[in-house]
A = this chain, B = another copy of it.
Amino acid sequence: MKAFRIELALLREAVLGTLPPDAAPPDDDQVIARFAAGAWTVLPEPGDGVAGLVRERVGDVRALQLLVEGTSATAWAQALDDGEVAQMVPDALSRWLPRLGAERILGAFSQGAAHRQRLLTRADEHWPLAIDDLGPHAPAALWVRGDPAALAACDRSAALVGSRASSGYGELVTGQLAAGLVGRRFAIVSGGAYGIDGTAHRSTLASGGTTVAVLAGGLDRFYPAGHDELLQRVVATGCVIAEAPSGVPPTRWRFLARNRLIAALASATVVVEAGQRSGSINTAGHAAALGRPLGAVPGPVTSGSSTGCHRLLRDYGAAVIERPEHVVELIDGPLEESVALGGGTSDELRVLDAMSARAPRGVDELAVRTGMAPRDVTAVLALLELGGAVLERGSGWVRGLGRSPSPPRA
């Protein structure tokens, strides 16, 4: 790499620091590939679709080389062999080049290594394939603290997200959903924030489940700082991930970009509690755009803390989530046939309505009271007698203590 003038040995050292200690030593090509993937987490902002398209056309390594070599627009067009993408490159270069520098990229690796981060690339065993549904907006690689195997567990997972300003109600429901989903072997994905996110991670840990936190900034410093201890606990059994390299602070933009990773990683996204402008509405929007199932937990309409959830239910086709089973249904489809409104036999009900528990009534009287034909009353009485719901007594029939039918549709 000309303009960089970095020795392969230096690259190897950088890359090795972010590999598991027991990993097979990478060959030179693997070192260069990992370095390039890491570089592409440094150069563009998260979600830069042009970076994704360029990497898709020529690969991470060649794309980085072209960048480093100060390639002309004509040479880019030739290399990309895609006029449409080539047209976007000059603009993109003016975004990426200000960040191009060996120190910055090597720094991401060394800081990553210093904070026990692994760089997870598409070549790695635990790369979560669901992320690739983001297409050109997928990250080049992920920075991971903890066990990357937790990411693979996300192939059966739910994102539980919501307001930072959660209520006791929202936290209670989050805890119930997390515990129930852990019991059904789902991993829980969330954003590590205060409120619903934190409760989702905490409840999952308490239930012995696997949880993944997706952060908006680099993993050298957990955000929010008040969740450092919680996120350390997530690292101990699950993992904390980010596409931004160390040293990159979370910003509003990066929170929004981070939300697309949560939506892509999880099999379904459930917004537990959200005000009208909660960031979790944005996560829900990504889930919907990705075709991932979307759920929302309803809540009291008298407080503002479920307004965002109700908006998702009303305007964006989110499913109503009350219990963990509803999340499972969202992902696996209906658990059992839904029952029609009402149901049951109406004639039995009409006859029972017309009967007394004490005063025996004859068929003719019951016919008048029910508006049914006497012979139909007789037939229904015979059926009800079988179930013990009516008893013949002296001059007529009385209600018994047996099974009563369910209310019908009128």
User: Are the CB atoms of B407 and A354 closer together than 8 Å?
Assistant: no
Closest Cβ neighbor of A367 among chain B residues: B98
In the complex where A306-B298, A341-B316 touch, is A407 in contact with B256 (Cβ < 8 A)?
Answer: yes
Contact (Cβ within 8 A) B350 A253: yes
Query: Any chain B CB within 8 A of the CB of A129?
Result: no
Q: Are B301 and A300 in contact (CB under 8 A)?
A: no
Selected interface stretch from A57-65, A143-151, A157-165, A317-325: A317-325
Cα A374 to Cα B96 with chains together (Å): 10
Min CB distance A97 to B, Å, is 9
Residues of A in contact with B, size category: 35 or more
The one of B45, B254, B301, B353 in contact with A299, judged by C-beta atoms closer than 8 angstroms, is B301
Closest B residue to A298 by CB, please name it: B298
**Inter-subunit contact B256/A410 (CB<8 Å):** yes
Given that A410-B253, A410-B256 are known contacts, is A44 also in contact with B94, CB under 8 Å in the complex?
no
Across the interface, do A349 and B252 meet the contact criterion of CB distance under 8 Å? yes
Does chain B have a CB within 8 A of A169?
Answer: yes
A222-230, A278-286, A383-391: which lies at the interface = A278-286
* Cβ–Cβ contact A302 & B172, under 8 A: yes
Q: A263 vs B408: C-alpha distance in the bound complex, in angstroms?
A: 16
Known: A45-B350, A307-B322, A341-B316. A98 touches B407 (CB 8 A): no
State in angstroms the CA–CA spacing of A191 and B407 once bound together: 17
Cα(A99)–Cα(B369), bound, Å: 9
Q: How far is the CA of A307 from the CA of B253 in the complex (A)?
A: 38
Which chain B positions have C-beta within 8 A of A375?
Answer: 94
Identify the A interface with B (CB < 8 A). Answer: 43-48, 91, 93-96, 98-99, 169, 172-173, 176, 251-254, 256-260, 277, 279, 281-282, 284-286, 288, 297-302, 306-307, 310, 313-316, 319-323, 326, 338, 341-342, 346, 349-350, 352-354, 364, 367-368, 370-376, 406-410
